Amino acid sequence: MSDASIGIGTGVKGAPQAAAAFDAGARVSDYVALLKPRVMSLVVFSGFAGLVLAPGHIHPVLAAVAVLCIAVAAGAAGAINMWYDRDIDAVMRRTCARPIPTGKVKPEEAVAFGIVLSLGSVMLMALALNWVAAALLAIANLFYVFVYTIWLKRRTPQNIVIGGAAGAFPPMIGWAAVTGDVSLASIALFALIFMWTPPHFWALALFRRGDYEKAGVPMLPVVAGDRATKLQMLLYTVILLPLGLVPWWLGVSGVLYAVAASVLGLAFLGFAVWVWFDRDEREGGGRAARRMFAFSILYLFLMFTAMMIDRAPGLLPLLERWAG
């Protein structure tokens, strides 16, 4: 039996096709990487929480469209951020393997991709849901691109305090997708993420300080030092403790949430105290800072989970109606 008859010839002929398919797969994953999918998970989760917690009903298909729009608009802003920051991303160890610094995606392709997805997601939100949700989505997207990335990131250590507002919008957007408005309760959800962002990010900046120094980005540990950063983190986590109870106080969720928020808030504060007393200030050496960064993500996931579980009795009839 010749090689050709057992299919080797076919295999050789198929090789370029296989390579092309592999290439296409690699390109898809590069474009997905532009969307910062891991960060997006929590953005989407908090947006979903806004949808669940808002009073009123929404058809599940529309709820899914709203979540998709939040995910795509956030990812699109991330792609534009990677286009603008391609010079500093190439310098930092954490970001140097991203698709633009490695040459896998051209800068102009990335920015076009980001702009098209931004416009598409905002338009879909406006058409399928409502104009308030679409306007908030556009504001969040533009805030991350223009206020955080282009204006503040390279100028001031307060970059993430002000610019962090972008990431605080998703629950408000989810809420508005259901109600068509902005309420005190949705502002409380915004405030929670707004106050959470600085300790979340500065914990990372403490053990990635060298990266930011190298790239010349004025993050707080670089500009003001570790002690000042740790003090600020303590302040924000102290404020976060009572702020976490506001959704309960406003009746967004009940006592179960209030207990969870107190425990989680105290734990987050405990991490900030541990970071404060941790004397290991070598770049990359601070175990406490690493743990606090990881806990910050768990904290927000659990806060919104607790809020939603507390609303579960109200959700049940809703789910039954959807199922029916």
Ligand X SMILES: CC(C)=CCC/C(C)=C/CC/C(C)=C/COP(=O)(O)OP(=O)(O)O
> Which residues sit at the interface with ligand HEM, rule CB under 6 A?
38-39, 41-43, 46, 94, 148, 160, 163-164, 167, 193, 197, 200-201, 204, 297, 300
Q: What is the spatial distance between Cα 258 and Cα 266, in angstroms, rounded to a whole number?
A: 12
* Nearest distance, CB of residue 272 and ligand HEM, angstroms: 17
Measured CA to CA in angstroms, residue 278 lies from 129, 209, 238, 264, 293 at distances of 48, 16, 18, 21, 14
Q: Closer CB to ligand HEM, residue 48 or residue 148?
A: 148
Which partner, ligand HEM, ligand X, none, binds residue 229 by CB below 5 to 8 Å per kind? none
Q: Closer CB to ligand X, residue 185 or residue 205?
A: 205
Footprint on residues 36-95 left by ligand X (CB under 6 A): 36, 39, 43, 70, 73-74, 77, 81, 85, 95
Tell me the site size for ligand X, rule CB under 6 A: 19
User: Within 13 Å, how many C-alpha atoms sit on residue 235's CB side?
Assistant: 9
Q: Does 144 bind ligand X (CB under 6 A)?
A: yes
User: CA nearest 222: which of 283, 152, 151, 296?
Assistant: 283
Amino acid at 241: L
Q: Closer CB to ligand X, residue 99 or residue 248?
A: 99
Q: Does 222 bind ligand X (CB under 6 A)?
A: no
- 3-class secondary structure, 3: coil
DSSP letters, 172-189, are HHHHHHHHSS--HHHHHH
Which partner, ligand X, ligand HEM, none, binds residue 272 by CB below 5 to 8 Å per kind? none
Q: What is the spatial distance between Cα 300 and Cα 292, in angstroms, rounded to a whole number?
A: 12
User: CA nearest 65: which of 4, 149, 122, 139?
Assistant: 122
* Nearest distance, CB of residue 169 and ligand HEM, angstroms: 9
Q: What is the spatial distance between Cα 32 and Cα 214, in angstroms, rounded to a whole number?
A: 27
Residue nearest to ligand X (CB): 167
* Nearest distance, CB of residue 48 and ligand HEM, angstroms: 12
Which partner, ligand HEM, ligand X, none, binds residue 38 by CB below 5 to 8 Å per kind? ligand HEM
Buried b (16+ CB within 10 A) or exposed e, 235-256: ebbeebbebbebbbeeebbbee
Which residues would be at the binding site for ligand X (CB under 6 A)? 36, 39, 43, 70, 73-74, 77, 81, 85, 95, 137, 140-141, 144, 153, 166-167, 169-170
